[in-house]
């Protein structure tokens, strides 16, 4: 997060569980996301999974390079594999998100 902007993607653990990602469907710039609402789909060699928004807000940027190279999600989920950037409409929602440490404890 950076001010009222948030970069959204999936975790290393999630991409590892999915396996090789072969397709991603993301919303258009300007789309309004609702916290915990569906915002896209990721398809791997194992399965198809729905993406859920961690926060409410307006999509300000989409990582269009994932259309041609979805494997970036596997290779660099916290860098080149980001999915969308949103301007948060309710920054207080971020207070309910897990920290990295909390997430690690949850998946352990």
Burial class (CB in 10 A: 0-12, 13-18, 19+), 17: middle
Q: What is the pTM of this model?
A: 0.91
Cα 72 vs. chain centroid, distance in angstroms?
13
pLDDT in tens, 19-56: 999 999 999 999 999 999 999 999 999 999 999 999 99
CB-based contact 23:11 (threshold 8 Å): no
- Give me the number of domains the chain comprises: 1
What residue numbers bound the domain in which 45 lies? 5-107
* CA 31 – CA 38 distance, rounded (Å): 12
Q: What is the CATH number of the domain that holds 90?
A: 2.40.50.100
Residues 6 or more apart whose Cβ sits within 8 Å of residue 55: 6, 8, 33, 35, 86, 88, 90, 93, 94, 97
Residue 6 CB neighbour total at 10 angstroms: 21
Segment 87-100 mean pLDDT: 91
């Amino acid at each position: 997060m950076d001010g009222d902007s948030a970069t959204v993607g999936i975790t290393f653990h999630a991409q590892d569980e999915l396996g090789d990602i072969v397709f991603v469907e993301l919303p258009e710039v300007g789309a309004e996301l609702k916290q915990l609402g569906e915002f896209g789909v990721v398809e791997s060699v194992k399965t198809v999974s729905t993406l859920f928004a961690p926060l409410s807000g307006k999509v300000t940027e989409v990582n269009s390079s994932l259309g041609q190279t979805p494997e970036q999600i596997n290779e660099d989920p916290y860098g080149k594999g980001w999915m969308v950037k949103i301007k948060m409409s309710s920054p207080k929602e971020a207070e309910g998100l897990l920290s990295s440490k909390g997430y690690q404890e949850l998946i352990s």
